[in-house]
Structure 1
Amino acid sequence: MATIRVQEGPFDLAAETAALAEGRVDVGGIASFQGLCRADGGLTALVLEHYPGMTEKALAGIAAEAESRWPLTGCTVIHRVGRILPGEPIVLVLTASRHRTAALEACAFLIDWLKTGAPFWKREEFPDGQERWVEARSTDDAAAARWG
């Protein structure tokens, strides 16, 4: 069963990785993806909103799909909400498996599906006070579609 968290504060990559493998001797590899906030176009902050309960349920469903496709021994998905500054982490995906291929493929699948299937709304803030909502990108849809 995957560990799913939606939180405002940052996460600790090393601690989360250690927790995934703690006491396990059947883990041959852990794949990770940590998404960071970029300062594209002078962005000063990214604000992520969500519906509590619904978001966690959607993340759990995406993780369950990964667990059904690959022989994972563990899975962690942590997504931040609230105001995030450039350089700060936004999302963490960890997958553990007996073999690297399953861990790597499941990790890629999860981040691709999170980009299109997780109910988060993103608003960008700029130094001049302007704000804009981030719209869905066709490149994200294409990445998710490759998984069928």
Structure 2
Amino acid sequence: MTPPEAKGQRSNAPPPQPPAVLSCADPAAPIGLRVQILTQRADFLRAASARRQATTGFLLQARARGDDNAAVRVGFTCSKKIGNAVARNRAKRRLREVARAMLPLLAQTGWDYVLVGRPQVTIDRNFAMLLQDLACALARVHGPAQSKNGVLK
């Protein structure tokens, strides 16, 4: 027979595990930085006509909204070039997880971001490399603007 536990002794029970699925509204995000999901087609079109930064794993489209809302909004899209529905959904899941991990740390308030999956690469690329791709893309988007010939604007 096992004696009852005395106060102050450690339990043999495993520590609580974090949930398996986390939403983009990460509670560990810095105070005031809320990440919302883009759903309206018009928002995707406005982001597509703004800044773009290509990476090996995906394309990042970003724009400053210019409104008083401090939330960061993010959208995800994958065309049929990615593959069938299973492949597109997998690519979007990977992009959502990359955004959940990096946007609360590196995004600027008042911006919209759209991550566009690339055929073959988004699904097959190492996840750590996708994280690095997003960090580099955000640094370039928020850095000084350059013209096509490389001169600072």
Q: Please report the TM-score for the alignment, with normalisation by the length of structure 1.
A: 0.30
TM-score when scaled to structure 2?
Answer: 0.29
Give the structure with higher Rg (CA).
Answer: 2
